[in-house]
Structure 1
Amino acid sequence: MDTPTPIPVSTEKMHKLIFFGASGSGKTALINRMIFDKYRNDYVSIPTIDLYTKTLYHQTDMIKLNIFDTPGVGAMSVGDTFWKQTEGIVLVYDIKNRETFEKLGYWLNFFKTHSQGAKVPVMVLGNKLDLDSNLDGGGRQVSREEAEEWCKLNNIHIFFEVSAKDAVNTKECFTKFMDAFVSGIHQDLHHDDDDDDSSTLLKKNNTNSDDDAPSKGVFSCFCCM
């Protein structure tokens, strides 16, 4: 059987990517580095979901992304349909803060529970690699090997240690993740029913509901073309 010809991704549909991470992990700084190629460290944790939009080219596809930055603390007042329609997730922790690493399991299980199963690419990022020294009074609390083992146990195959501040591996990890992200979109377009879970995918439950965003007042929006 011939391999299906790739279908160009629609430029009209917005594709959903969600970032999870404990407060202080630096996920918002990573999002800003990836989208705007800028670094800030004056973020204040608030219990809202921030929405960033970005249009990018990946190989032959033009992709329009809705990137949701979830709060590291507090409850998220959104329905399960919001999570079901997700097409990729990124889990972020701080290599110098073990508590943020130990929260990864919570965020992963949260998504699995509320999405009622998903087949989406997952990436884990160990942030603040620029602080991997003892010069400031403390080194890393999570080794690369431990993080890699955690990813292996959870069937996650995209893992990078990064620095939002110094832009270390930020382009590389995003490119790698988009390979899997766009591949998943093409599989949906071809109605691929393959249940092979050997890749970095969670099982996805598709839905046609219009309930694609948090309730009014729960999120703020930032745009980049």
Structure 2
Amino acid sequence: MEASDCSYQFRIALLGDAAVGKTSLLRCYVAGARGAAEPEPEPTVGVEFYSRALQLPAGLRVKLQLWDTAGHERFRCITRSFYRNMVGVLLVFDVTNRESFEHIQAWHQEVLSSQSPGKVIFLLIGHKCDLSTRCVSTREAEELAASMGMAFMETSAQSNCNVDLAFDTVTTAIEQALRQGDIKLEEDWTGVRLLHRAPNPRPPSRKQDSGPCQC
């Protein structure tokens, strides 16, 4: 699908500590199995951008502008400047790294304090679920997600587990919030941009009345 066919653009970011696998997740989502097979990427410096066009079950075509952010503290002043223009955020931790899980609430609070004019859709992601050395249980992560008012999902870029589902879940939630009026188009906010108005469905043609039945 070409981006020129899309009605909206949604800006979605991945946030979390360094080395939790944000870049691997994005590459897997954008490039599919080919992205999952790529070698471990170098650490992100500042912010990098990816994009993908997607058709939602409701029929709406959207362009996703996907932001890969650096997790190192020295880049935080750069990444914070982008928080205000996000409509979707995947908060990512590594299930084998306890510290990355414990920092999730701080990442969440940073976005909430950015004074974004629009509602932000969050999804908590426990990445690298294919590894057996995990130190964060599914139940514990679900409880944290519930306390912050969001859903939780486990993913693995290595095995391509739930990668598409994670991004599709966030995108569908954004579309539903937009349709219900919980998210509104704002002139100075680029979290959601209208690219092309979707054509209105044509009303069904009315059949001519052939008069009373002759049977």
Task: Give 1:113 deviation, angstroms.
Answer: 0.8
Which of 138, 147, 158 is residue 141 of structure 2 equivalent to? 147
> Are the structure 2 counterparts of residues 61 and 206 from structure 1 closer, same or farther at C-alpha, using a change threshold of 3 Å?
closer
The AA in structure 1 aligned to 2:91 is L
The AA in structure 1 aligned to 2:20 is S
Deviations 1:70-112 (A, max 9, x none): 11112232675x4333211111110000111111111111111
2:130 aligns with 130
SS at match of 2:145: helix
2:187 is aligned with 1:186: no
Q: How does 1:1-225 map to 2 (within 5 A)?
A: 11=6, 13-37=8-32, 38-39=35-36, 40-59=38-57, 60-73=59-72, 74=74, 75-77=76-78, 82-116=82-116, 118-131=118-131, 133=132, 139-156=133-150, 158-187=151-180, 192=181, 207-209=186-188
The AA in structure 1 aligned to 2:49 is L
SS at match of 2:174: helix
> 2: CA distance between counterparts of 1:76 and 1:186?
33
Q: How many residues align?
A: 181
Task: Give 1:206 deviation, angstroms.
Answer: 6.3
RMSD: 2.4
> Is the CA contact (8 Å cut-off) linking 1:85 and 1:206 kept in structure 2?
no
Task: Give 1:185 deviation, angstroms.
Answer: 2.7
2:208 aligns with none
Task: Give 1:176 deviation, angstroms.
Answer: 2.4
The AA in structure 2 aligned to 1:45 is P
* Identity within the alignment, %: 25
Task: Give 1:210 deviation, angstroms.
Answer: 7.0
2:200 aligns with none
2:201 aligns with none
The TM-score normalised by the length of structure 1 is 0.72
Structure 1 runs of 4+ with >6 Å offset = none
Unaligned runs of at least 5 residues, structure 2? 192-215
The AA in structure 2 aligned to 1:109 is Q
> Is the CA contact (8 Å cut-off) linking 2:9 and 2:65 kept in structure 1?
yes
Task: Give 1:121 deviation, angstroms.
Answer: 1.4
> 1: CA distance between counterparts of 2:60 and 2:19?
34
